[in-house]
Structure 1
């Protein structure tokens, strides 16, 4: 079966990569362009957690992870659209980077005892895990 000129499996892969690309590119670039505001927020958010003294070092790490996840996923979208043999590997790599980002964020939220914030990451993580399974088909 095809939709919009693509086999449904390929269309699903494109949609997963596009969602991941938008999610993490926006989140990463927001941290780049509003670095100080985000840093201040995270310092306040984690001030009572074991991560309090590490926020300054962790902020560039999560920014790089998120931005990389988004941009690699967007490259994956393009490769999927043109039918490249590298498409699944690149899109899966973006999904994996996104999953790693989410695990890092989840860890931080749990340490900060922000259980609602941690719970809000679960659907995104399930999307990343599902995407990895999809790219393995």
Structure 2
């Protein structure tokens, strides 16, 4: 197992980053659904998404939790089997979540929020590069 850790240390560290990012975010959305929905409804009140906020919140919540779980599976499979398949799925799902969030911020003309998402996207795309 130690050999697999050292061989995949960068990928594992980046996957841990994705687990923390997306499980925390997804679980927060589930635990405080009403608060998140209220804030997002106001945030997107003048955007084309204004009538779809509950549906879109549900979709992003599922995608974020899936990204976190797939990243955990990726860590386990890298450590135990030196297998990158689940890590790749976790990274791809994380990229999807980030691109969805980025689209929402751009459509809403929240350019500072969009910039923040790019900070998360860069190491995630780097992980994709490493896993290929």
- Supply the distance in 2 between the matched residues of 1:6 and 1:135 (Cα, whole angstroms): 14
Q: For this pair of structures, how many residues does the alignment match?
A: 131
Q: 111, 130, 133: which one pairs with 2:129?
A: 133
Instruction: Tell me the secondary structure at the aligned position of residue 24 of structure 1.
Output: helix
Contact 2:4 2:78 in 1 (8 A): no
Q: Does structure 1 residue 12 correspond to structure 2 residue 10?
A: yes
Moved over 4 A (4+): 4-9
Counterpart of 1:48 in structure 2 is 46
Shift of residue 41 of structure 1?
Answer: 0.8
- Supply the distance in 2 between the matched residues of 1:7 and 1:80 (Cα, whole angstroms): 7
- Supply the distance in 1 between the matched residues of 2:73 and 2:6 (Cα, whole angstroms): 20
Contact 2:5 2:78 in 1 (8 A): no
What TM-score, normalized by structure 2, do the two folds share?
Answer: 0.93
What TM-score, normalized by structure 1, do the two folds share?
Answer: 0.90
Task: Structure 2 unaligned segments of length 5 or more: list them.
Answer: none
Task: Structure 1 unaligned segments of length 5 or more: list them.
Answer: none
